[in-house]
Amino acid sequence: MNVWLERRSEQHGTSSRGFNSTSEDSQYQRDRARIIHSASFRSLQSKTQVLGLGESDFYRTRLTHSLEVAQVGSGVCEWLREQPDNATHQALIPSFSLIEAVCLAHDIGHSPFGHGGEVAMNTMMRDHGGFEANGQTLRILARLGEYSPESGLDLTRRTMLGTIKYPALYSQVCRYVPVATENPLNIDHWAPPKCIYDAEKDVLDWLLEPFSTADRDRFLSTKWPEKGHGRTQYKSFDTSIMELADDIAYGVHDLEDALALRLVERDAWMEQVVSVLRELPDNPINLAMDEFNQLLFSTSAKDRKHAISRFVGYLIRSIVIEEQSEFEAPLLRLQARMESPAYQILKLIKDFVMSHVIFRPELQMLQYKGQRVVVRLFEIFEANPERLLPIPVFEQYKEEGHRAIADYLSSMTDVSAGKLYHKLLSPTSGSIFDRP
């Protein structure tokens, strides 16, 4: 059997039933189906992407973002497969089922309230193994998902490997920057390292079994900045495609949300983006810049969508396959890269959205409020585990301690976390008939 189609349940002799077909793509279809039908994936419909839930019916949630990443990922694979230069790599380019499975799964470990909620979770877990969204994703796929008692969603080895952005353990890259005065009302310095949990080391070891020792050691290597957490250096071929699709969806589609909700001023766009674009050499966007700007700032949603679609197409067509000669295994040697100036343009737009949308005080207030909800709920359950945790969660708590609380709270949506907060802290909210 193809080693990349193996599932962890098979080593325990508990492999669950699935499609009768054993063809390679049917196994990845099975992975995709399990992700789509999982509770973790469904909960993304009520988790913040950038803008807080309830602000508008238009903008993206984590669920719609994940669907768009999957669509862009499929488009990238189709483009790569069509290029004559990639003829020798055809067998390695992911099928649509495989790349969609990887893309759909990439965000299922996110806690409520976006990246602010992630920092809040890690603040409470920093001395107990940490909390990081990609690490939680692997935990769901390998342990918590509902399709296997011991192996979570029990996906194929290649699909699971494709979801790992940061192949390093928390204890290996964790290095917080000391602060002069600890202030519980500002927890930004407790942002987690990009990692997976030490508790999933056995899963990581299983995923990397097919590689040589040299490839494994290099893949797991890290580098250290002057201060702060260590950082991983490598990712698999499938992950490189998924991350490019994620960057495109995050940058371009979040720009569309910001334009539709009038969070971006045209003068700022012209000064900080268009003026830079005009200076970039070999930039095809310049050939139609005036039309592009007119469409983006049109009052017509169709005009905006037309401009966004053209831009996404340009970015996809700028992606190529390169090789990292230091690796033996093709899944590690091949990498999808976005050529310049397309990458420069995408980064410029992402930075613009970051500064004009994500960092604006109105949005930061919502993020801060979500952080306070997460921290307070964690403190309450930490102090009263037997009294307040749901019975199944308390049983897990007796075995895994704080990790059980993290699993419980991170599985919540923005809405359910907010309701639980009011149930516990508001005298007039909650009922004995409410179910946790």
Give the max Cα distance, the chain. 67
Round to whole Å and give the CA distance between 69 and 60: 12
**Residues 181-225 pLDDT 10s:** 888 889 999 999 999 999 999 999 999 999 999 999 999 999 999
Most confident residue range from 41-55, 65-79, 248-262, 415-429: 65-79
At 84 the pLDDT is 95
In three-state secondary structure terms, 336 is: strand
8 Å CB contact between 132 and 196: yes
- pLDDT of 57 strictly over 50: no
What's the token pair of residue 110? 């996110």
Mean pLDDT of the chain: 91
What's the token pair of residue 166? 């940061």
% the chain with pLDDT above 90: 73
8 Å CB contact between 198 and 178: no
User: Which helix (H) or strand (E) segment is 319 a member of?
Assistant: strand 319-323
Round to whole Å and give the CA distance between 411 and 407: 6
At 306 the pLDDT is 92
pTM of the model: 0.93
At 366 the pLDDT is 85
Of 209, 288, 300, 290, whose CA–CA distance to 256 is shortest?
Answer: 300
Cis peptide before 341 (omega within 30 of 0): yes
**Residues 113-122 pLDDT 10s:** 988 999 999 9
* The residue count for the chain: 436
DSSP-derived secondary structure letter, 152: B
The secondary structure of 210-261 as a DSSP string is TS-HHHHHHHT-EE--SSS--EE----HHHHHHHHHHHHIIIIIHHHHHHHT
8 Å CB contact between 1 and 24: no
Of 70, 209, 99, whose CA–CA distance to 159 is shortest?
Answer: 99
- pLDDT of 53 strictly over 50: no
In three-state secondary structure terms, 259 is: helix
Sequence-distant (6+) residues with CB within 8 A of 402 are: 124, 125, 128, 129, 382
At 49 the pLDDT is 53
At 330 the pLDDT is 97
**Residues 329-344 pLDDT 10s:** 999 999 999 998 899 9
Across 60-65, average pLDDT:
85
What's the token pair of residue 327? 């690796």
- Structural domain spans, the chain: 245-358, 362-424
